[in-house]
Structure 1
């Protein structure tokens, strides 16, 4: 290991999450693997972030403050620019890391120096959530399955396809990324405020450049579900907040297409744009659970997304399934 370069850069953006911050920082400063730097980006949080960070007398901490609130996407971009580690791991400030997270990732790195090292999460539900125990367990299992590093066989030669098809979850957490790839995609990260689908956009750009992938079948990241607007549905989102989610998702899709154009791959990878466009539309439609105002929410969704693109994608998928079934019959 290079004495002048930490092995891991842990990037922790903060906005209005100070009530969870000590829990998060305790989990990173106490990592059993010590060769790390901890980059905290205070995204103009209105609470006592300065006071809490000052409690940690740790020379590995790099503290950066934004003068204005820029959102998670750009807070991570700030961390990317400052990071000097060989690998970068993102940690949300309302989550925490297992104290052996960095050690386990380093052990996996020694077996295979992959561009992306993906590990499992442990989903934790707030005790104050007033739902039946059985429903809580179902929710936890669903999240852990979706974010699992082991739910799909991954072809690492086609990582962009694997993430577009959601074989790899879009979430930035619970993965370690080669720093040189993060530095490369940082040049393409637009200076825009995104409050939904920001993980998806960054993940897609990473998987465009990444060419190797590895997974660890251990729960090394503690993910606190039910915190954050993107986890909610229309039973607790109003028209304005739902519209904002739709706007952000559509913007993220369009920014991905711009990124592909810059790579001169608009034609070659155009189908991936259609795929993520449809997936975001479907994801947002699944959030509509309020029967009383269902039609109003559908109008909001369809005002943001072009149904011509949705229908074209579905026709391509229908043809693809017909062709697959035809070959299955021949084989049988």
Structure 2
């Protein structure tokens, strides 16, 4: 089934003609629980991984833990609609003390499936996103990894890894992704309006419009950030959202070039402030507005993942040389 974003509640460029020159495209991925295969673009499914290639591991020290959740018990609990039970940590010390920790595969995207997905090093057209399942340091930092591939070359492998290695216990149940199929859809998008993301006079117009909407409509007011600029959820390309941090200049550590947004990974596909973006296929056609949305876990939190304290994870790459190290930004 496709997913279709409703028309914006008002025409963005009719309200703000100045935004026409800033219009961009983003691809909403619309992950929904399913049974993706290794040759599909997905979140949480099996990776296209040649069997003779080592699975990546994290060798850094990890935070000590006292309890957690077994992956199979998480899966069973989700299937029955229950919450998994935590259990004491299986080891005597910190995770990783007895050896390296295998990364968890979060997602993979083929350019053939996802419009707007930027090419990787040497024109690579398959990108795989992985995360260390444990936290690091006093602020619970996470470690991420991008693996780029030439899809045709990878698919010619004689044998493939059928099951990625995983740790026996996870600290949080939301560290295990739910296998999701994708429904890519390109939509118009406009920059976040704060600081110098747009000219100051235009931001002032947007702020004044937001204030007028709030004064007239109260809790039901539209807002530029919530309804007109950047859609919520997993997406590729477009503009970064900066709700938690405010706008940041992201430059390449290798060459100082301004980096571009490759993809955004999130925990929620929408919330009360962004409900106008909910796809038509996830609504009850007999109802209107927020009340029409089917607020189920498969629609709101389909991947079951979280990033930081419910933030957006932006992955930036270098347009001058995609082989330069990516940057990971929680905002």
Q: TM-score, normalised by structure 1?
A: 0.22
**Higher RCO structure (Cα 8 Å, ≥6 apart):** 2
Q: Which has the higher helix share?
A: 1
